[in-house]
A and B are shown apart, each in its own frame.
Chain A
Amino acid sequence: MKPLLSTIFTNPQLALELDSNQWDYLIRQARNGNVLARLGYILEEARLFGQIPIKPFLHIRSAQIYFERFYISLQREIVIINGVLKSINVPLVLLKGSAYVVQNDTAAKGRIFSDVDILVPEDKLYEVEIALLKEGWFCNTLDPYDNKYYRKWMHEIPPLRHLKRQTSIDVHHNILPKIARFCPDAKQLMANIVKNREHDLWVLSREDRVLHSAIHLFHEGDFKYGFRDLSDLDLLLKEFSQQEGFWEKLLQRAKVLRQGMPLYYALRYTHLILKTPIPNKILQLSASQACNKLNIRLMDSLFLRALLPDHKSCNDRWTGLARWVLFVRSHWLKMPLYLMIPHLFRKTFKRMFSKDQ
């Protein structure tokens, strides 16, 4: 059965036909998928806000009020980070959620997240970290193994947390770990950044924003917010494809950055789950850039489960297994075997014997 949430995201008008039991499931799926505020904006956009029964309406409004507050704090956070980077003459390049916000992308609507992600050149990492440290951002990863792991193998330094505001920032120098199988060249990303004049900072180009979102989702091991990320892709694609030549540029860019596989999955699964309008020709071209056909039936059986809202009403008996296989796959993609086995062994061992238990 198709989950209610994806049905309503695809066709908001159907919300008018829901009974209170269905509203109950809709709100629960949206809350657990971290898209309750976004559901509100989708219904608002479809001019249905006045027709939602009061009880579910209050839950949607409550999530939107939380989002509105988050949105204001985020804007302020971005101004402060921009100030810090300006003081050392490093341009601020925002990634993901914060980029959607400054660009006014529809994907920013109702998207609540915990970290501001930024991209800096690898040779400026140290300088940036020191500058942020002086303004109160500290590395809160105390575990020496984690710290070393981040700095040696990953595409980012450990998350920094602000001492007073408790806000968090992820400083990246690439969008995939250095040791990942299909790591793109960060210089290529930097070469295509776009100026945002209103906020006086930079973001990735449209195509790269889509690719980054796709890379993130289809290298992910934890699908708690998989549906939210899929909905991001749906909104980005719908918005950007209004521009002439967008699809061709997107495919071209995927080739340059070696991201044919995540792009194909992004197009396939937004189209299958959220009915994102994608020209058939583009889907086929993208498939030819990606992987063989044998594989795709297996991937369908995994992603068509894992990408649904993380709520028990959307699960079948295979969902748990699918999520586990994708968890292992994400490690397989992100690190070579000789690193992965000791890493997973260590993490499992630590979890079993950590003090909390």
Chain B
Amino acid sequence: MQDRLKRMQAEGIAEIAQAPDTRALDDIRVALLGRKGALTEILRGLGTAPPDQRPAIGKAANAVKKALEEAIDARKTVLETQVARREARETAVDMSLPGRRPMRGHMHLVPQVAEEILGIFLELGFQAATGPDVETEYYNFDSLNTPPDHPARDLHDTFFVKPGVVLRSHTSPVQMRVMEKHAPPVAVVVPGRVYRNDYDASHSPMFYQIEGLLVDKGVSFADLKGTLLLFIHRFFGPDTEMRFRPHFFPFTEPSAEVDISCSVCKGEGCRLCKNTGWLEILGCGMVHPVVFGYAGYDCETYTGYAFGLGIDRIAMLRHAIDNIHHLYENDLRFLEQF
């Protein structure tokens, strides 16, 4: 009997190892371990064996049963893995086909660049302020030390709504609106649309500016240089050089225009920078005492700086856009590039 069991185990295991698929394996299991299976028969016939041999035979039969079960399970795992592999092979993806992408929108380049610049100043502790597009001449000019008949008014081809009311020609009127309402310190950045009656290949009658204003005790021109250098390094890259050049704005004194080293030729001289190696990006200066006077600030106690930059121009420089009108034609083939 013991021999028979041993043989059964050896033959069973061999058969199991040969089973070509799970179905054949199942047939083997039924034939060996099923209700009418060979081993079941033996166990069932245990009652006819001599009583003294019964425990030994029972034990041996159970060991065989366990061994066969384990062999079946192991073979099953092997076969299932084979099947899974084959199926995976048959349904393999084509890595060269494009994925199914969720729809992606694009932020317009002007707000995109404005937001990035704004973000740099917000991080420095400035906060956003806004003002109306249709503005009084008082805020747009007079209170910014540009009285009627000031020659600087000629530089802004101003749109008029009616006498005394204009489309703001810069974001600077918001300086005065903020200072009028709040005692120093003031640290604001002002994004917004501005308007000049100038429409040709390189001018759009509406464009976008960001203004900055910092007023506190002890704010200096060196602080202005430091703030803008930090901005330039963050926005244009740490290798970008900065140049401060004297200029004139009625509402700042001293005033400066700021250039950065040409992004194309790195200062060597090219068409973009007209061979100067420099690109003008913004205007700035120390807040004029007359402006403080209009704001009701004591210009002996407080000093401040202001700067204004044209987002359109900066976006065009950074992305090598050759025509400002691309920005406002809103052709999807343009918008989707950014």
Partners in one complex: no
Chain A residues near B (Cβ < 8 Å): none
Chain B residues near A (Cβ < 8 Å): none
